[in-house]
A and B are shown apart, each in its own frame.
Chain A
Amino acid sequence: MSENNSKAEEKTEEIAEEKVEEKEQEKQKEEKVIPYLEDVPFFGFQKLIVLKNKGIDPELIDEYIAQDGYQAAAKALLEMTQEEIIAEMKTSGLRGRGGAGFPTGLKWEFANKSEGDIKYVLCNADEGDPGAFMDRSVLEADPHAILEGMIIAAKAVGAHQGYIYCRAEYPLAIKRLNIAISQATEYGLLGNDIFGSGFDFHLEIYQGAGAFVCGEETALMHSIEGKRGMPRPRPPFPAHQGLWKKPTVLNNVETYANVPQIILNGGKWYAGIGTETSKGTKVFALTGTVKNIGLVEVPMGTTLRTIIFDIGGGVPKKKKFKAVQLGGPSGGCISEAFIDTPVDYESIAKVGAIMGSGGMIVMDNQTCMVDMARFFMDFVQDESCGKCTPCREGTRRMLQILEKITRGEGESGDIETLEELSEVIKDAALCGLGQTGPNPVLSTLQYFRDEYEAHIFEKRCPAKRCPALLEFEVDEEKCIKCGICFKQCPTEAITWEKKQPAHIDKEKCIKCMTCITNCPSDAIF
């Protein structure tokens, strides 16, 4: 072997080694590589039916058509009878997503069988629960799916006019709906003789002023009629006497968004997803003390734990999960002991909450349950339309008692009065607002009665949230002398020096809670 050759060999060896090193480096780089969407737990655990089109341009009808859009409408209008559509909906097991969970197929059947040549199909896009934004997102991301669902419903019941009742506070949703309606009209997908089937359907948007009670079906219809948005007793149910006393179907946004896919893929396919009594998926608006805030669509039967801890990423560091609130002002909270409850209508009701329309608020150990109940009661009391006495007066009394307790003026007997009032209001109120209004109080009493008792009998707020029950003093033993409170106090009420415990000047303190919220060692009481 010549010298040259061996040198060359050394060189190649060197190069080979370098290459290996390079590859290793590349590998390391690759390991840092961003995961695929389905491997990110937030997305991976979800199943998208309602939200499947969330990436398309909602202002271009062609984009919707490229996703099989309006093919279900074509099928329903050209190939199916009214009875076949209703049968398919019944097979699917779809239940209303607006809160009550009434079977959609059955509702359509009632309206179909109802006598009358004029009927209406309405969409409830009022979405009044604090913290809920499912319907808004669907309307903004995929407005044509709602239009298509309503066309199919119209055919099923024999309606030729529809209204979407949307709150005026959703300007982007309304803009995109308007664009969708005008594009669909240009394509002849709304209007007369759709697909040459001879079937006519016209659709308009009605903007509501945003009262919570206007989400209630009879109030919503009064509002469209130009009257005050107040509920009336039922029966007669809207399927028999609805808008302008004509047979009417009212469904929620998310309910309609499911319809085209049920018609396209069959009721059996849909019934294959979910649990025995609750089929399909449910969209939740996940908010509160949770890492990933957003819209989550999961098959019915997914546990709260999966939603909050896998998809939501759990509560941020240093905080502790306490409870989850479902169903907003009509719902209740579920404590940690029941975190493995699957989401379906019956299971959630069994543990004292409701499925509701999909608001899901995660609460940590810094949430005072009495204060939370007070917040929702304040909302209900504010939104009560005042038509019936139990709701108008009863919620006012309940709010007064809750305010008294959080102010530290609670007395023995208050809890019993709250319970008694709750029962009366639930029984006697005219509409769902009053009938469900006491739920947040009842469910917090069920799981966190000790917190109420601490407020009333010990004048103590265990979560340290009710300012009237706090001293705003520093426990020098617990204080780790970090100075965080000193730096954050907006009124310079806190004095602190390195290696010294902090001290709060009560004269200057405005009880803003900043120090208590941010103290890393829970030293302020």
Chain B
Amino acid sequence: MARLTAEDLIKLKEKVKNENALSKDGYTVKITVHLGTCGIAAGGDVVYEALKEEIEESKRDDIKVVISGCAGMCSSEPNVTIGRIGEDAVIYRDLDAEKMRKIFQGHVLGGEILNDYAMARIKEPV
């Protein structure tokens, strides 16, 4: 990594934004696992492990997983946000490993939102 100038900063911003738009780099799904201390304490790390296993088993290489800080509503954690290309993203609440696996099969692979576990939709593609 080189030292940045102010111009580099803007270029880098555009580049990252571009790459983050799904479809670039061939990704069609972005999954955000909200892992602050609160999320981890609620079992977020276990959910994260289950998710990684599911992805591995699915042999899909177009699924991008990112971690982030607390989504805000600690009492609804663990939270995971699923965004499929061209669709509203959905943030799920009160997850455990089993629910995560169901959501992976149902929503990520099958395209069906699991209403029972969903908390909200997010308009802009995350």
CA gap between A173 and B90 in the complex, in Å:
27
B17 to chain A, nearest CB (A): 5
Q: Is B20 an interface residue (CB 8 A)?
A: yes
A186 to chain B, nearest CB (A): 5
Of the stretches A290-298, A423-431, A485-493, the one at the interface is A290-298
Q: Is B109 an interface residue (CB 8 A)?
A: no
A391-410: CB near B (< 8 Å → 1, else 0) gives 00000000000000000000
Q: Give the residue among B68, B69, B76 with the most A Cβ atoms within 10 A.
A: B69
Residue contacts A-B, CB under 8 angstroms, 28 given: A32-B115, A34-B113, A34-B120, A34-B121, A36-B88, A36-B123, A43-B73, A54-B70, A54-B71, A55-B68, A56-B68, A58-B67, A62-B12, A66-B13, A69-B13, A70-B9, A71-B10, A71-B13, A133-B37, A137-B70, A140-B36, A141-B70, A170-B37, A195-B5, A196-B5, A293-B74, A294-B72, A294-B76
- On chain A, the residues within 8 Å of B38 by CB distance are 133, 137
Question: Residue of B at shortest CB range from A137?
Answer: B70
Q: Is B50 an interface residue (CB 8 A)?
A: no
Contact indicator A293/B73 (Cβ below 8 Å): yes
Contact of A42 among B20, B37, B73, B126 (CB under 8 A): B73
A302-337: CB near B (< 8 Å → 1, else 0) gives 000000000000000000000000000000000000
A10-47: CB near B (< 8 Å → 1, else 0) gives 00000000000000000000001111110110110010
CA gap between A152 and B125 in the complex, in Å:
32
B67 to chain A, nearest CB (A): 6
Closest 7 CB pairs of A and B: A141-B69, A188-B3, A293-B75, A66-B16, A294-B73, A74-B6, A37-B120
Contact indicator B68/A295 (Cβ below 8 Å): no
- On chain B, the residues within 8 Å of A136 by CB distance are 36-37
Contact indicator A57/B120 (Cβ below 8 Å): no
B45 to chain A, nearest CB (A): 11
CA gap between A59 and B35 in the complex, in Å:
11
CA gap between A282 and B115 in the complex, in Å:
33
The number of chain A residues touching the other chain, given as a range, is 35 or more
Contact indicator A296/B72 (Cβ below 8 Å): yes
Contact indicator B123/A40 (Cβ below 8 Å): no
B16-50: CB near A (< 8 Å → 1, else 0) gives 11001000000000001010111010000000000
Number of interface residues of B (CB under 8 A): 43
Contact indicator A141/B36 (Cβ below 8 Å): yes
Among A408-466, those with CB < 8 Å from B are none
Contact of A68 among B2, B13, B121 (CB under 8 A): B13
Q: Is A512 an interface residue (CB 8 A)?
A: no
Q: Is A476 an interface residue (CB 8 A)?
A: no
- On chain B, the residues within 8 Å of A51 by CB distance are 72
A176 to chain B, nearest CB (A): 8
Among A43-95, those with CB < 8 Å from B are 43, 46, 51, 54-59, 62-63, 65-66, 68-71, 74, 78
CA gap between A55 and B72 in the complex, in Å:
10
- On chain B, the residues within 8 Å of A68 by CB distance are 13
Q: Is A244 an interface residue (CB 8 A)?
A: no
Q: Give 4 A-B pairs besides A54-B70, A57-B68 with Cβ atoms closer than 8 angstroms.
A: A43-B72, A63-B66, A293-B75, A295-B74
Question: Residue of B at shortest CB range from A285?
Answer: B74
CA gap between A187 and B13 in the complex, in Å:
13
- On chain A, the residues within 8 Å of B121 by CB distance are 34-37
- On chain A, the residues within 8 Å of B9 by CB distance are 65, 70-71, 74
Contact indicator B16/A35 (Cβ below 8 Å): no
